[in-house]
Amino acid sequence: MLKISKRSIILRKIYEIISLSIIEIKEISNIKLNNNNIKIPYSTFQDPNEIKDFSFEVNLDQLDDGYKYLLSVELSGNAELIIDGMLDQSIDAGHTYSIFDGPKHEFVLRVGSRELFGKNSWYLNIKSIKIITINYKLFKLGLNFLQLFKYADTTSRSKLRIYNYMLKYLLTLYESPNIEQIMGIGSIFLNKNKEELVDFLSDVYGYPIINHMIKDYPRKDINLYKYTNVLEHIIKTIAASDNKYKTNKVFAFGHCHIDVAWLWPYSETLRKIERSFLNVLKLYEMGFNFVFAQSTALYYYEIEKRNVYIFNKIRRLVNDGKWFIVGGMWVESDTNLIRGESLARQLLYGQGYFKEVFNRYSRIAWLPDTFGFSGQLPQLFVKSGMEVFVTHKPMWNDTTEFPYHCFKWFGIDGTPIITSIVNLSYNENLDFDSVVNAYKSNKNKNLPITYLYGYGDGGGGPDIEMMLKLEQIKDLQFMPNVNGSFSEQEYIDSFKEFYKEMPSYFGEIYLENHRGVYTTNLEIKKYVANIEDKLIMLDFINSMIYNSKLYISNTKKLWYGLLKAQFHDILPGSAYYYAYEEAFAELDDIILEIDKITEFAIRKFIEDKNIKKGLIAINNSQYEFNHFVEIDNSLASEIPADKVVNVGDKKFVLVNVPPLGFSVINTNTENKFENEIKIRKIKGKYIIENKIIKLIINSVGIISFFYNNKRYIKKGNIVKIYNDIPANFDSWNINAQNIRKDLFMDEIKTEIRVISKNIIGMVEIKKIFEDGSSIIQKIIIRPGSSIVEFENTLLLKNREKLVKVVFQPYFHADYIKREIPFGYIMTKLNSKNEKTRPEFPALRYVDYSDNSHGFSILSRESHGYSFINGELGISIAKVPLYPNPFSDRNEVREKFYVYLHNEYYNIYKDANFVFNPIKLHVNEYDGDNVRESLFNFSGENIILENIKVAEDNSGLVTRFYNCSDKMSTLELNFPGGDIYETDILENKQVKYNKNIIFKPFEIKTLLIEKNNL
């Protein structure tokens, strides 16, 4: 009881000191909205997308030195505060007051009803507005007392001894606040812990005191020297009681994590950016000395367009070395679910924009909240000018603890980058216990610590109280060595100094959490995959007309739209409904624009190449394209009827196009169809086969797969619908226990019918499950192919479901190979990985093979896979409740493929129709050319990711990578010799001849200059 009593008395006395800093309170009871007078408190319906301007006028005189005005606003949403026509700061849950000097006159609150984390009840409430005159020096002293108390209360090794001394010194201060001052403290600490009696006294007596209905004690004059002296005595007491933290240096960054969209749409994010940046600028203008780090080139790009006043202030701070531009990416994107070219463009356009407007690149890679990290990121970061990588998310592991907080991270190619994991959150507040906790929990003694403070996720950034704590902490000997004002070079050098001492980590950093994001919201994943493929095709066509000066130079903004959609809460499916409504509309517009520009470029391409009239196919793959392609009726009318294969309601045409070239389809008279597809029913089982593979489908739709009459898959196409109710984070997580225990829904009916056995075989399987959910599968086999297509239409009747299709191999393998951007990684199949990785991501395929044979599952849009209880599964749908209960609420249309192969296989060649869809176009121009390969090269295991026009128009840029763990050599067949390797940012580095050596998994960006083309 004694301990509790002392603690309570100390805390109460400290709040009294802060209250004593309050000189006067002016309650604003009348404001204007659209020139109409309204009274406070005020409540009204407000659409979350609506912004209202509330204004009031009050004459505030110039104050004496040491005194300031504090405007306190209690409201339900967010606001921009404008004082005398100048943007001041935001008013939000983390920034409930603004401190400023007089004289001031006109105040405007530009208010939206959404809160920082998107919560919105479709109502706006403004409860109170107060202007408080404060003794700023005493106010700061009071906050200093509060931090020392929190330190003693939560962190000190000598809590009771410090309590005794604190109480002794504090009781030498005899002044107590009056009711008006107590009411003021309630208005200042609106959303923060405070004494319970503050609310009671404010609510009961505040109104009569302010309106002079009750006479209170007069305000006391305060001897600041006496209070300062007491503070110094307490500091000395703590310093004498606690050991010093002398080793690791703590680098404290002001920070503001703003999600591009999450529990709000992007249109709200635009307001968050402006409000958050205003908060930071306000602190600099108040004279605080700190470092602020902000990622995401997109935000600077938007501010430059929307508010050049804010942008120019940021630019000056960047030039002064106080505001760090970090990340180097267009947005903090996902890194598992996007093509390698997308990751390269994130860096190219992020760093390119920073160079353009700030004349510098980011040197610190920055992904604090992304859901797992591809094994090629170290190489990409280093080749984009980055020297240190900062993240936080591995701290979220749910099964094993990540072993390091500071280490050398080696990518799959062997490139290292220094990595610093923020071991607390990226939204800390500089409370002393928080700083000490960051120090104590650091796993790498003597190595630097990265500490991030400021309101985040929904934006906000640091506040004045954090600044005051930063000022206080640097002078306290008993606290860790916190550096809050440093140069970028100093931060980087502090890590490089300990490079040899750092432990090493190899390969991808898999997040043991948030495994549902590989599957949730299939629609956004389909959008992104589709637009990636369209833009890469446009790049190719543009490159092929580059020499004729007809190329299109305005495609960068189309990439901007795609890159934004790859943000780590949009593409993973973890944003809320309205964020996707807005995103889908924007992506639809991007598709229309891409298609329009592509059609224009193709017409220029046709004229330049003098291509014969008819339906042409363009192939941007390095491999010959020879595949039956589904076409619509309008395209079918351009082809002789005997070349169209009708399969149910679908039409197919055989397309043969040379590598990196084009072909006119209706001139391919040599294509004579031979019907090698056989489908028959024997003893209730359907057998479907071509010359390479055979499928046996039993009465419930389970399939056995054979390759050259050898059984590869014992049982496949087993559809399992699981109840999926994670402990938290519905959209992000999965309930792996149900998968491990094989607790899935019963199916009550299966219907199978043959749709086609002419040239192309198609069988339809329809399953109905016990809750009324259904799936219709169209299984397609093409002649001469060992790839089976599964076109799935899923209609779920209930939420909180995860749908998987699983396959039981007929042979044993030790590893799963899974594609990542620019390569692959091998995952060992053992009990440990099955526990930590019950679901894992793959970009476009996973492969299960031994030394002689194997099979792959491929999908362009689904990325979640599992290997549990001897079954390889692909997740084709996940329907959560939170935060978007309408995710994939209509029919889910998903497509995947099963590819059977021997030991000598090339998935990029055999499945190039999945990886590089061709472009079909009806050509009205009547030229002579019917078929041509426009560009060729050779190199075992060398993959061409993309070819594009250089950003400075100096030539063509090709991006290659070695997709194997062996050395390889690329031979480029271009005339001349001016070929350069560049970094990802297209800065020239090394001049090459035609033969270029690639290390395992190496990515190379090559510039072929104009004079060679």
Q: What is the CATH number of the domain that holds 983?
A: 2.60.40.2220
d(CA 141, CA 222): 12
Please give the sequence-ordered ranges of beta strands (E in DSSP) within 265-413, or none if there are none. Answer: 292-294, 323-325, 364-367, 388-391, 406-410
Question: How many angstroms separate the CA atoms of 91 and 956, rounded?
Answer: 49
- 366 lies in the same domain as 227: no
Q: Is 163 left (phi over 0), alpha (psi -120 to 50) or beta?
A: alpha
Beta strands in 677-822 (DSSP E): 678-682, 685-689, 693-697, 703-707, 710-723, 747-758, 760-769, 774-781, 787-795, 801-809, 815-820
Looking at the fold, whether 591 and 502 belong to one and the same domain comes out as no
Q: Please report whether residue 441 resides in a domain.
A: yes
For residue 318, being part of any structural domain is answered with no
CATH number of 838's domain:
2.70.98.30
Per-residue confidence (pLDDT) for residue 194, from 0 to 100: 62
Do 868 and 722 fall into the same domain? Answer: yes
Q: What is the mean pLDDT of each run of 10 residues along the chain (1013 residues)?
A: 71 92 94 94 94 96 94 95 96 95 94 90 92 96 92 80 89 90 86 71 82 84 92 89 76 97 96 97 97 98 97 98 98 98 98 98 98 98 98 96 97 98 96 92 92 96 96 89 96 96 97 97 98 97 84 86 97 96 97 95 92 94 94 88 90 94 75 77 95 96 97 98 93 93 92 94 97 96 96 96 97 96 95 90 98 96 96 97 91 96 94 95 90 90 96 94 96 77 94 89 94 62
Domain match, 878 and 953 both: no
Give yes or no: residues 219 and 355 share one domain. Answer: no
Residue 895 maps to a domain? yes
Considering the domain boundaries, does residue 660 fall inside one? no
Structural domain for 845, as ranges: 678-903
Task: Please check whether residue 149 lies inside any domain of the structure.
Answer: yes
| Runs of H (alpha helix) within 171-328 | 179-188, 196-210, 224-241, 266-285, 297-306, 308-319
**CATH code (residue 492):** 3.20.110.10
Same domain, 28 and 158: yes
- State how many domains the chain has: 5
Q: Which residue, of 610, 626, 655, is where some domain finishes?
A: 610
State whether 182 and 208 are in the same domain: yes
Is residue 442 domain-shared with residue 564, that is, in the same domain?
no
Q: Cα–Cα distance between 568 and 564 in angstroms, integer?
A: 9
State which of 568, 584, 610 marks the end of a domain: 610
Torsion of CA 438, 440, 445, 451, to 10 degrees: 10
Residue 2 confidence (pLDDT): 45
What CATH code is carried by the domain that includes residue 544?
A: 1.20.1270
Residue 421, domain member (yes or no):
yes
Q: Do both 588 and 727 map to the same domain?
A: no
Task: Name the token pair of 104.
Answer: 């001031």
- pLDDT for 161 equals 85
Strands 1003-1009 and 955-962: antiparallel
C-alpha span between 138 and 280 (Å, rounded): 24
Q: Strands 249-255, 292-294: parallel, antiparallel or unpaired by DSSP? A: parallel
**CA angle 298-299-304, nearest 5°?**
100
Residues 267 and 396 in one domain: yes
Q: What is the pLDDT of residue 548?
A: 74
Is-cis flag, bond preceding 975, omega within 30? no
Assess whether 262 and 139 both reside in one domain: no
pLDDT at residue number 4? 57
Other CB atoms within 10 Å distance of the CB of residue 692: 18
Separation in Å, CA 521 to CA 570, 789, 801, 821, 877:
9, 22, 12, 21, 8
The CA angle 84-89-90, to the nearest 5 degrees, is 120
pLDDT at 777: 98
Task: Give domain status of residue 547, yes or no.
Answer: yes
From 463, 482, 513, give the residue that closes a domain: 513
Same domain for 493 and 542, yes or no, is no
Q: What is the pLDDT of residue 380?
A: 98
* Model pLDDT, residue 1: 40
Residue 658 is assigned to a structural domain of this protein:
no
Beta sheet of 931-933, edge-to-edge order: 919-923, 614-619, 661-664, 931-933
Inter-residue long-range contacts of 647-652, CB under 8 Å, 24+ positions, other chains counted: 647/755, 647/756, 647/758, 647/759, 647/760, 647/762, 647/780, 648/755, 648/756, 648/762, 648/764, 648/778, 650/762, 652/628, 652/759, 652/760
Q: Which helix (H) or strand (E) holds 605?
A: helix 577-609
